[in-house]
């Protein structure tokens, strides 16, 4: 039997070739239930992965890789401390560049608040240094201490840094979601293997008769494989639909963008859970086929 | 077609068969006889590779039984029709489905007309839809014979096919096997029914092989 015809036969109605194995109500129901439950869990793991992925991306893009050093001191100290601060910054690992803003630039920054006529040079406006970090980032506490020693009037303002652990947490959650999905797939495979093994040993006499009348292992395996593939698939259809309904009924993402309210699918992501039933069918197919061929090889 | 040479076989303990040699040529007709428990069924199982010899050489259609893979064994069983002593049906399938099973598992289409004719031939035309459990022992044996010949095999092995049927029916079954032999099939029948053997010998040149004291002997006229 070629792979193609076997693949098609998997989804056709029960044929004479399927009837050679007697129906087993109990294993069938257990397999359906297990596949449905696993699909339900898979939908949630998928929602978690996609939502945390979304959060991680958004937060990461908001994480500007810039910080500011503000130097508030007396006018006569200003130039010396700025130079000292720049020297510290240039020798700090993790900083790509540090540049003191010119008077004109500072004026441009303040203009929206005070208007163009502001005589900035005569005011005690702090000197600003724009710091751009490289991809490794710098160690903020160490930098603060060194600045304090070299330029007492320098204050490091890294307003967006607090988000970094959040981004990491979101990325971890996303990874855990994928791991959960892999575990769910593996567990489904293990359960179907157990169910298939039970069905194979319950039908030892049937298999014996089939072998006696000239059935090849492939034919016998296919009869079991079609059953379990169909059960895994249809159970997963039910579980997936219920899971999607449950995710749909979660509170929607609110404007505040709080983490818990963002857990769901958005837009095209709703198509992702539709891949769960075919995957469950594929897991059922492989698990049963491997179990059947292994068991059959062990028989006389 | 089937050749055993110096074959020994035992189920774990002492050897049941010792130095068994037998050659079933194309178109030959053999009876295998011996007391109950002598090893008739065992010898037949060696012929369709349900069992493998502990020593000696078995050649099935030119192939050493030892070298046969699992698919080779399946192919062998499509060329050898077997009437098992215990019938070996699938209890959840109807009689007609059981009889047509060899066609199904080998991917052949079954022609309903032919199937009906075959069932009529063994006198089971009206029982096609019955489950095996609803049939008498004799009816099951007739169905087993129908299943054994449905693939038009080169060799028919029948293990006490008349064990559960009355004399008239056993004559009819014998007639069917003789007919198959005349069509060129190789036949071997295990039985301890001497009357059956005599009836057959009147019509075909059948050889009688006997298992005695773990050894195979060609029986002479003394049976
Ligand atoms: N699977 C088996 N395991 C162990 N002993 C067996 C097995 N099958 C048959 N035997 C023994 O082998 C002997 C021969 O059995 P069998 O070939 O069925 O004889 P027959 O068909 O001539 O009556 C019997 O003593 C029987 O108990
Ligand atoms: Mg016997």
In the block, residue with structure tokens 């449950």: A246
Q: Which of B58, B45, B33, B49 is nearest to B191 (CA)?
A: B33
CB–CB of A297 and B70 under 8 A?
yes
**Token representation of residue A200:** 């194979």
Higher-pLDDT residue of A94 and A14 is A94
Give the per-residue pLDDT at A300: 63
Report which bound ligand comes closest to the CA of B36: 1
Residue B183's nearest CA partner among B149, B147, B219, B208 is B149
Predicted confidence (pLDDT) at residue A59 exceeds the cutoff of 90: no
The rounded mean pLDDT for chain B is: 92
User: Residue B101: its chain A contacts at CB < 8 A?
Assistant: 20, 209-210, 213
Q: What is the C-alpha end-to-end distance of chain A, expressed in Å?
A: 22
pLDDT of residue A204: 92
Q: B2-220 — its CATH code?
A: 3.40.50.300
Token pair belonging to A23: 């129906």
CB atoms within 10 A of CB A253: 17
Return the pLDDT at A118: 66
Token pair in block for residue A216: 């090849």
Provide the angle, in degrees to the nearest 10, between the axes of the packed helices A75-90 and A140-150: 140
Candidates A20, A211, A214; nearest CB to B90 = A20
| Predicted pLDDT at A138 | 83
Give B84-93 pLDDT, tens digit per residue: 998 899 999 9
User: Which distant-in-sequence residues (6+ apart) come within 8 Å of B203 by Cβ?
Assistant: B178
Residues of A in contact with B97 (CB under 8 A): 16, 19
Integer Rg of chain A from CA: 32
Separation CA A195–CA A160 (nearest Å)? 53
What is the arrangement of strands in the sheet containing B80-83, beginning at the earlier edge strand? B80-83, B155-159, B186-190, B29-33, B207-212, B215-218
Q: CB count, 10 Å around CB of B171?
A: 16
Look at residue A16 in the predicted model and tell me its pLDDT.
77
**Of A125 and A233, which is predicted with more confidence?**
A233
Distance of CA A295 to the CA centre of its chain: 37
CB-based contact A78:A69 (threshold 8 Å): no
Nearest chain B residue to A293 by CA: give it: B70
- Between B185 and A120, name the one with better pLDDT: B185
For B73, nearest residue in chain A (alpha carbons): A214
CA dihedral sign, ordered A275, A281, A282, A283: positive
What's phi and psi for A137, nearest 5 deg? 80, 165
- For A216, the closest of B71, B102, B151 (CB atoms) is B71
Q: Is the CB of B35 under 6 A from ligand 1?
A: no
Q: Give B221 to chain A, closest Cα distance, Å.
A: 35
Distance CA B124, CA B145 (A): 11
The residue among B118, B65, B80 whose CA lies nearest residue B96 is: B118
Ligand 2 midpoint to CA A243 (Å):
59
Q: Are A216 and B89 an interchain contact pair (Cβ–Cβ within 8 Å)? A: no
**pLDDT at A252 (0 to 100):** 62
Where exactly are the structural domains of chain B? 2-220
Instruction: For residue B193, report the distance from its CA to the centre of ligand 2, in Å.
Output: 13
Distance B87 CA to ligand 2 centre (A): 12
Q: How far is the CA of A238 from the centre of ligand 2 (A)?
A: 52
Name the least confident of A70-79, A239-248, A249-258, B7-16.
Answer: A249-258
Residue A137 pLDDT greater than 80, yes or no: no
Which residue from A103, A88, A96, A102 is spatially nearest to A67, judged by alpha carbons? A96
| Bridge partner list, B209 | B32, B218
Cα(A27)–Cα(A46) distance, integer angstroms: 28
Mean pLDDT of B42-60: 95
Question: A217 in contact with B at a CB cutoff of 8 Å?
Answer: yes
**Per the CB < 8 Å rule, is B101 touching A20?**
yes
Q: A184 vs A44, A279, B168, CA distance in Å?
A: 11, 11, 64
Q: A258: pLDDT confidence band, cut at 50, 70 and 90?
A: low
Give SS3 for A185: helix
Select from A142, A64, A68, A144 the least CA-distant residue to A100.
Answer: A68
Q: Which residues of B touch A (CB under 8 A)?
A: 50, 70-71, 73-78, 82, 84, 88-93, 97, 101-102, 104-107, 147, 151
> What mean pLDDT comes out for the span B109-126?
90
Statement: residue B177 has pLDDT above 60: yes
The interface predicted TM-score (ipTM) is: 0.93
From residue B39, alpha-carbon distances to A6, B18, B183, B185 in Å are 42, 11, 29, 24
CA distance linking residue A173 with residue A211, whole number of Å: 51
DSSP string, A201-260: HHTHHHHHHHHHTT--HHHHHHHHHHHHHHHHHHHHHHHHHHHHHHHHTSPPPPTT--TG
Of residues A186 and A25, more confidence is placed in: A186
> B25 CB contacts (<8 Å, ≥6 apart)?
B1, B186
Would you say A258 and A45 are in contact if contact means Cβ atoms under 8 Å apart? no
Of B84, B88, B105, nearest to A214 by CB-CB distance is B105
| Tokens coding B209 | 């092989």
């Amino acid at each position: 039997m070629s792979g193609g015809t076997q693949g098609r036969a998997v989804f056709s109605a029960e044929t004479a070739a399927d009837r050679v194995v007697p129906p087993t109500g109990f294993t069938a129901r257990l397999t359906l239930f297990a596949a449905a439950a696993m699909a339900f869990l898979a939908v949630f793991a998928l929602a978690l992965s996609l939502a945390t992925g979304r959060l991680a991306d958004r937060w990461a893009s908001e994480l500007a890789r810039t910080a500011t050093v503000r130097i508030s001191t007396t006018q006569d100290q200003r130039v010396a401390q700025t130079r000292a601060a720049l020297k510290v910054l240039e020798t700090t690992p993790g900083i790509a560049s540090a540049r003191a803003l010119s008077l004109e630039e500072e004026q441009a920054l303040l203009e929206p608040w005070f208007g163009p006529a502001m005589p900035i040079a005569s005011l005690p406006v702090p000197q600003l240094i724009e710091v751009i970090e490289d991809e490794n980032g710098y160690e903020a506490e160490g930098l603060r201490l060194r600045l304090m020693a070299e330029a007492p009037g320098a204050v490091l303002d890294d307003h967006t840094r607090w988000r970094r652990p959040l981004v990491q947490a979101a990325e971890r959650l996303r990874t855990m979601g994928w791991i959960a999905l892999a575990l769910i797939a593996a567990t489904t495979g293990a359960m179907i293997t157990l169910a298939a093994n039970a069905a194979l040993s319950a039908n030892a006499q049937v298999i014996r008769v089939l072998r006696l009348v000239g059935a090849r292992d492939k034919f016998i395996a296919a009869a079991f494989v079609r059953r379990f593939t169909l059960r895994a698939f249809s159970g997963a259809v039910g579980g997936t639909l219920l899971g999607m309904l449950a995710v749909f009924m979660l509170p929607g993402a609110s404007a505040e963008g709080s983490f818990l309210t963002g857990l769901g699918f958005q837009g095209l992501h709703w198509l992702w859970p539709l891949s769960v039933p075919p995957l469950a069918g594929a897991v059922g197919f492989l698990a049963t086929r491997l179990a059947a061929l292994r068991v059959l090889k062990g028989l006389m | 077609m089937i050749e055993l040479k110096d074959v020994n076989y035992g189920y774990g303990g002492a050897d049941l068969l010792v130095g068994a040699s037998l050659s079933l040529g194309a178109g030959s007709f053999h009876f295998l006889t011996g007391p109950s428990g002598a090893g008739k069924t065992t010898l037949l199982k060696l012929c369709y590779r349900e069992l493998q010899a502990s020593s000696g050489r078995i050649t099935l259609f030119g192939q050493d039984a030892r070298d046969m893979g699992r698919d080779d064994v399946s192919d062998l069983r499509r060329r050898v029709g077997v009437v098992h002593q215990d019938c070996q049906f699938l209890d959840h399938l109807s009689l007609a489905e059981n009889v047509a099973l060899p066609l199904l598992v080998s991917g052949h289409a079954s022609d309903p007309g032919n199937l009906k004719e075959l069932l009529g031939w063994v006198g089971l035309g009206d029982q096609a839809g019955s489950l095996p459990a609803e049939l008498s022992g004799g009816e099951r044996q007739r169905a087993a014979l129908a299943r054994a010949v449905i693939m038009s095999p080169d060799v028919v092995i029948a293990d006490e096919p008349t064990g559960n049927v009355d004399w008239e029916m056993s004559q009819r079954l014998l007639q069917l096997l003789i007919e198959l032999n005349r069509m060129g099939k190789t036949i071997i029948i295990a039985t301890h029914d001497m009357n059956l053997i005599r009836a057959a010998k009147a019509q075909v040149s059948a050889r009688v092989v006997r298992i005695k004291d773990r050894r195979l002997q060609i029986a002479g006229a003394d049976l």
